[in-house]
Amino acid sequence: MIQAHALTKYYGEHPAIRSITFEARHGEILGFLGPNGAGKTTTMRILTGYMPPSEGHATVAGFDVVEDSIEVRRRVGYLPETVPLYPELSVFEYLTFMGSLRRVPALEDRIDEVLEEVHLTERSESYIGNLSKGLRQRLGLAQALLHRPDVLILDEPTIGLDPAQIIEVRKLIQGLGRERTILLSTHILSEAQQVCDRVVIINKGVIVAEDTPANLQSQLAGAERILVRVADGDAALRQKLEGVSGVVRVAPGQTTGELEIASSPGVDVRARVARAVVEAGHDLLELRPIGVSLEDVFLQLTTDDVVAEAGG
């Protein structure tokens, strides 16, 4: 449904994305994960026909995004990061305007349908300027769905929403994904984990990983880690702990007295670490396992040295 091949986009001299290649299949929810400024929005803007790539090419629903831009735009529903709404229009007027530009047949019925889908039916006469952020986000989504697009491109659809709204929007997206291809960008890992079938991790304009959330997690879950907090840790203790059998690495934690210990897979070093701390004459305050989350994967992948490996 979406095929991007070696997409590169320069803003002046600076490349916002470099050689982005990926694919999204029919009925798939593909997550585009990366820190702010990674190039997610740029990629999406290319795929929606908003701007052409500097190099490379992409097709959406079989049409080239540059050559057949209008055909692509007919088939894509797009929710930009800043939801584009006209505050002086009512919900219904806004959707009527967008629907007529998109030649939606039986427009009024379709608007009713979409409003129901995003739970905005009671607000159809409200002025957009009076809607809360959550409602605006849903209206943006309604606009993207209005013409029954084959492909939905959603740029940070849950940004700025409160937790209850986030859950609601995620559910909505998951429901939509069954019959459409959805490309969704986010910088929230748990969101990608929950919603997406597959995740593409992008950092500084290049793709650093691409897999299912579960695989990405297990890929880097080889090492297990525990957190140790002592009353008065020092370098000597670190050295001693590094000597404990099964311990791979000891790194200082976020606050003083905290140490993060990585161990070989499948080895439980907790008892040995506890004994070592006490034997060294330190007071052990806390010792607990810290699992590997997608967040760790993400952080590992988006630190500079890993990028150099993966991108180079």
Adjacency order of strands within the sheet including 55-60:
14-24, 2-11, 55-60, 63-64
In the list 5, 23, 28, 50, the residue contacting other proteins (rule: CB under 8 A) is 50
Picking from 268, 251, 269, the residue whose alpha carbon sits closest to that of residue 260 is 251
Stretch that binds other proteins, among 73-81, 203-211, 217-225, 274-282 (CB under 8 A): 73-81
Q: Does 22 bind other proteins (CB under 8 A)?
A: no
Burial 17-36 (b: 16+ CB within 10 A, else e): bbbbebebeeebbbbbbbee
In the list 143, 186, 263, 302, the residue contacting other proteins (rule: CB under 8 A) is 143
In the list 37, 62, 84, 222, the residue contacting other proteins (rule: CB under 8 A) is 84
Closer by beta carbon to other proteins, 45 or else 170: 45
Q: Does 170 bind other proteins (CB under 8 A)?
A: no
Picking from 27, 56, 59, the residue whose alpha carbon sits closest to that of residue 39 is 56
Closer by beta carbon to other proteins, 87 or else 222: 87
The gap from C-alpha 300 to its chain's centroid, in whole angstroms, comes to 16
In the list 26, 62, 97, 249, the residue contacting other proteins (rule: CB under 8 A) is 97
Q: What is the DSSP letter of 84?
A: -
Q: Does 223 bind other proteins (CB under 8 A)?
A: no
Instruction: State the nearest-atom distance from the C-beta of 159 to other proteins, in Å.
Output: 14
Closer by beta carbon to other proteins, 59 or else 193: 59
Instruction: State the nearest-atom distance from the C-beta of 125 to other proteins, in Å.
Output: 15
In the list 39, 49, 205, 213, the residue contacting other proteins (rule: CB under 8 A) is 49
Q: Does 76 bind other proteins (CB under 8 A)?
A: yes
Taking the C-alpha atoms of residue 43 and residue 63, their distance in angstroms, rounded to an integer, is 16
Taking the C-alpha atoms of residue 177 and residue 170, their distance in angstroms, rounded to an integer, is 11
Where does residue 13 rank: exposed (0-12), middle (13-18), buried (19+ CB within 10 A)?
exposed
Pairing of strands 14-24, 2-11: antiparallel
In the list 6, 51, 214, 223, the residue contacting other proteins (rule: CB under 8 A) is 51
Closer by beta carbon to other proteins, 129 or else 243: 129
The total of other beta-carbon atoms located within 10 Å of residue 126's CB is 15
Within 38-157, residue ranges assigned H as helices are 40-47, 69-75, 91-101, 107-117, 133-145
Spatial CB neighbours of 36, under 8 Å, sequence gap ≥ 6: 187
In the list 101, 106, 223, 236, the residue contacting other proteins (rule: CB under 8 A) is 101
CB-CB contact of 18 with 205 (8 Å): yes
Residues binding other proteins: what is the number (CB under 8 A)? 26
Taking the C-alpha atoms of residue 94 and residue 87, their distance in angstroms, rounded to an integer, is 9
Instruction: State the nearest-atom distance from the C-beta of 84 to other proteins, in Å.
Output: 4
Q: Does 74 bind other proteins (CB under 8 A)?
A: yes
In the list 4, 78, 196, 224, the residue contacting other proteins (rule: CB under 8 A) is 78
Placement of tokens 């709404």 in the chain: 85
Q: Does 80 bind other proteins (CB under 8 A)?
A: yes
Q: Does 110 bind other proteins (CB under 8 A)?
A: no
Residues that bind other proteins (CB under 8 A): 11, 45, 48-52, 70-71, 73-74, 76, 78, 80, 82, 84-86, 88, 97-98, 100-103, 143
